[in-house]
Amino acid sequence: MAMEDSKRQKVGSDKGVVIIVDFSANPHASLGDECVKRGYSLIDIDSHDDQKKVRFLPEDKAAESPCLAHITHSGKLDAQSLKPTLEQIRAACGESCIVACLNNSDNGGPLHEVLAEAFGVSANSPATFDRRRDKWTMMEAVRDAGLRATSESKVVDLAGAEAALADKFSPFPKVVVVKPTNAWASDGVTFCNSEDDVLRAVESLLGKDNSAGNINKELLIQEFLEGPEYELNVVSWDGVHKITEVSIYDQRPLPGHPSASHGLKMVTGNAPGVEEVVEYYLKVLYALDVKFGPTNGEIKLTPNGPCLVEMNYRCQGGSKMMQPLHQAAHGYSQVSAYLDAAQDLQSFIALPSGCSVH
């Protein structure tokens, strides 16, 4: 539930505190910089460190960091594990109120949602966070909503991979994709040109650590999607979705890679394919129960219509580089819109109506 306007205002002498999950873990993001520019104090929560600790910054060091404290959390979301973290956050806040809890990484979404719920600030429901984090659950939720989704199988061993190849990928197409269910970005994503390639990829990836700090216990074998790929950056708040940028990848084949990205070009709403892709992605957001926060969607416009590659539950990667470009092009960016939504709702609502779909 969104906070009342009165609860958004400062308590004491500052404007309030913003909790950012994985502020320090994602140095390429500009979310924290934007909060500091707007005059908010920060608390950084590390979402996946096994050793819980808290570091309050001494006065002589406070000027060197924008954060009141850097707190690491065990990664578990049960009440017993959360209790010390909540206590440490309250201690770091002092007399100031928490005005928002924001997510800054692929891995931080679940903790961000639970913390937001605990402190009474807006976020999506923790009950459905698997749809927004686990790539298998995400795609199956899209399929269950009656939308175009990739043909896929989830496997946990070589025998399962062999069965999946016989069931869904026979005769073998030109290319299939193998990837972990719970890793970041393109980590572990493997393009396979034969059944032997698939089995080698499965054997290589299972049991290995991935970029999200997890062990690959489950893998996906998916169809390779043909067609141009679009990237959509969206900020949602209370079910209102603002499309802040639409871009299309410059993708060309390279040896061993059927569709490597060479660049990204921003396009307008009337560019070919954009309206169809946007309409599809807004339905994806509904299927994934996204009502609050930023998402970065990757969609292929296949011969059979738009199809989700994956949804990243965060602002666009590399936002420190991209935000100034988007700010110059549009007068706002996904990061600034996220802050507007969380802390200045009227500014968010006032963004150009051409970017708003209810």
Q: 163 and 76 in one domain? A: no
CATH of the domain at 342: 3.30.470.20
Domain tally for the chain? Answer: 3
Residue at a domain's end among 199, 223, 247: 223
Residue at a domain's end among 189, 223, 257: 223
Distance between CA atoms of 237 and 2, rounded to whole angstroms?
A: 9
Q: 247 and 166 in one domain? A: no
CATH of the domain at 76: 3.40.50
Distance between CA atoms of 100 and 2, rounded to whole angstroms?
A: 10
Residue at a domain's end among 204, 223, 242: 223
Host domain of residue 276: 229-357
pLDDT of residue 256: 66
SS3 content of the chain, % helix, strand, coil (to 5): 35, 30, 35
pLDDT of residue 11: 31
pLDDT of residue 276: 95
Q: 111 and 82 in one domain? A: yes
What residues contact 37, with CB distance under 8 A and at least 6 apart? none
SS3 330: helix
Q: 39 and 77 in one domain? A: yes
pLDDT of residue 75: 67
Give the DSSP H/E element, type plus range, for residue 232: strand 229-237
Answer yes or no: is 60 within a domain.
Answer: yes
pLDDT of residue 64: 60
CATH of the domain at 199: 3.30.1490.20
Q: 170 and 74 in one domain? A: no
Q: 276 and 184 in one domain? A: no
Answer yes or no: is 144 within a domain.
Answer: no
Q: Is 31 left (phi over 0), alpha (psi -120 to 50) or beta?
A: alpha
pLDDT of residue 297: 95
Distance between CA atoms of 43 and 56, rounded to whole angstroms?
A: 10
Ranges of the chain with pLDDT below 70 = 1-14, 26-28, 48-65, 75, 251, 253-262, 318-320, 353-358
Q: 237 and 193 in one domain? A: no
Answer yes or no: is 190 within a domain.
Answer: yes
Q: 70 and 12 in one domain? A: yes
Q: 239 and 353 in one domain? A: yes
Answer yes or no: is 199 within a domain.
Answer: yes
Answer yes or no: is 140 within a domain.
Answer: no
Distance between CA atoms of 273 and 265, rounded to whole angstroms?
A: 14
pTM of this prediction? 0.87
Q: 350 and 240 in one domain? A: yes
In this structure, what DSSP letter does residue 2 have? P
Answer yes or no: is 249 within a domain.
Answer: yes
Answer yes or no: is 290 within a domain.
Answer: yes
Q: 338 and 240 in one domain? A: yes
pLDDT of residue 352: 80
Cα angle, residue 307 at apex, residues 166 and 233 outer, rounded to 5°:
140
Q: 215 and 236 in one domain? A: no
Going by C-alpha positions, the residue among 320, 166, 312, 153 that lies closest to residue 231 is 312
Answer yes or no: is 131 within a domain.
Answer: no
